Structure 1
Amino acid sequence: MAATNAKSVLFVCLGNICRSPIAEAVFQKMVADAKVADQWVIDSGATSDWNTGSSPDSRGLACLKKHGIETSHRARQVTKDDFQTFEYILCMDENNLSDLEKKAKSVQSAKAKIELLGSYDPQKQLIIKDPYYGSDKDFETVYEQCVRCCKAFLEANS
């Protein structure tokens, strides 16, 4: 169980089966390796409800496994409560950002800081493109971006 003063982050993409579960799994491993997992609440979600309850894309799972990372995440849609309970909501592209900002306006006492995960990328790749219609190489690119961004985000919040 996380400490009551734990930091919290929700990773978000359109369907919560490709980019955001990769980011969540990468960050989970990073905080575990840094021995600070007890200081974080970490989850991921979708702006849409299309894949609710589904496992991550098999190509994303294969990519994570190749890098020694496992996840048992099931897709879920972002809720109004998420804007009140998470400190950070980090999303993948401008459409996610716009959808989240719109939803946040309807939430009283929303406290989450909504940002693009790519804003933390030292290589300045602001957008993490959806690999769904792409190849295994596209999932690897997402993984590499998530590693860079999550490392910088963790450093900024340590």
Structure 2
Amino acid sequence: MVKKKILMICLGNICRSPIAEIVMAETLAKAKLDSVVDSAATGSWHVGNRADPRALNTLKNHGLESKHIVRQINKQDFNEFDYIFGMDEANMDDLRRLAPEGSKAELLMLGDFGLSKENRIIEDPYYQSGSEGFETAYQQCVVACEAFVKQRLLK
């Protein structure tokens, strides 16, 4: 199978997309699929920083680790990656606006895989106190990544 390149996107690249990046990489590794997974922001506020400590702790609680440094999506990403996933409708609007005409990446909402219509938005936990929102985002990513891999890559 050809190596797939997957990019996870959220607003700041410090909460949802770094979690989704690690979950997708883990899901693909378990399925023994060769892949490259990265994440990026639509905004530039946190470029050069690490993920939110609550996101990193959530991953750690599940035996996972992220060393990702925040970056912003760029025009080249739309032709380098096969799939670019947004976490919510605002991310998807930004991705559609930023995508160069004729780019190869398929733009998808992660929550459209395996999650119910009412639960398909992976809500931004940044402004919530505590870590509950990060755990919820993690659990949604696990379900959605597994469903995507089964539906699209293991056919």
1:87 aligned to which of 82, 89, 98: 82
CA-CA distance at 1:41 after TM superposition = 1.4
The equivalent residue for 1:114 is 107
Aligned AA for 1:110?
Answer: S
2:14 aligned to which of 17, 21, 25: 17
The equivalent residue for 1:140 is 135
CA-CA distance at 1:34 after TM superposition = 2.5
Query: 2:25–2:36: 8 Å Cα contact kept in structure 1?
Result: no
Q: How big is the alpha-carbon RMSD for the aligned residues of Structure 1 and Structure 2?
A: 1.3
Aligned AA for 1:132?
Answer: Y
The equivalent residue for 1:74 is 69
Report the TM-score when normalising by structure 2: 0.93
Aligned AA for 1:85?
Answer: E
Count residues with an aligned counterpart: 151
Q: Which runs of 4+ in 1 moved over 3 A?
A: none
CA-CA distance at 1:80 after TM superposition = 0.2
CA-CA distance at 1:93 after TM superposition = 0.6
Aligned AA for 2:21?
Answer: E
Report the TM-score when normalising by structure 1: 0.91
CA-CA distance at 1:112 after TM superposition = 0.8
In structure 1, distance between residues paired with 2:24 and 2:16: 12
Does residue 120 of structure 2 align to residue 126 of structure 1? yes
**Which ranges of structure 1 fall in alignment gaps of 5 or more residues?**
none
Aligned AA for 2:81?
Answer: F
In structure 2, distance between residues paired with 1:95 and 1:13: 9
Any idea what SS the aligned residue of 1:80 has?
coil
In structure 2, distance between residues paired with 1:100 and 1:60: 23
Any idea what SS the aligned residue of 2:107 has?
strand
